[in-house]
Amino acid sequence: MDLSLYERLGGSEGITKIASDAVDLHLNNPAISPRYLKSDVAVLKKGAANFFIMGTGGPNVYEGKDMLATHKGMNISDVEFNAVIDDILQALEMNNVGQKEKEEVLFVLYGMKKEIVAV
């Protein structure tokens, strides 16, 4: 049987590291960092990790709101959306994730655009 994306990304441990790196990149990315000024970084990292764990076929540990409810009213732009995706891809590269897995993550993230941008 093929391994799930969750398993190929290193399970909960691997994904927790990837999510933590992605959030650190967001906080240092001037295109989006102002959005997170009021965020509790530890909570943000945990929410991001749990969302990713659930979304890649791991255990159902995410307890947050869905993407539309989370981002509704934030007036997020295309530029901001692309900046978030760039950071996540960079985090995958920092953690030596393979090309096929990067493509699969990108495909899933891109599909969420209509629930996040200008909603």
Q: What is the largest CA-CA distance in the chain?
A: 44
CA distance 25 to 45: 12
CB atoms within 10 A of CB 28: 10
Work out whether 29 is an interface residue with ligand HEM (CB under 6 A): no
The mark string for 68-97 relative to ligand HEM (x by CB under 6 A, - otherwise) is --xx----x---xx--x-------------
Q: Whose Cβ is closer to ligand HEM: residue 94's or residue 112's?
A: 112
**Comparing C-alpha atoms, which of 58, 56, 46 is closest to residue 19?**
46
Query: Residue 14 has which token pair?
Result: 């691997």
Q: Does residue number 64 form part of the binding site for ligand HEM (CB under 6 A)?
A: yes
Q: Which of 12, 39, 90, 95 binds ligand HEM (CB under 6 A)?
A: 39
**Min CB(87)–ligand HEM separation in Å:** 10
Let me know: does 35 contact 44? Beta carbons within 8 Å.
no
Is there a contact between 91 and 44 (Cβ–Cβ < 8 Å)?
A: no
Residue number with CB closer to ligand HEM (1 or 69) = 69
**Residues making contact with ligand HEM (CB under 6 A):** 32, 35-36, 39, 44, 47-48, 51, 64-65, 70-71, 76, 80-81, 84, 109, 112, 116
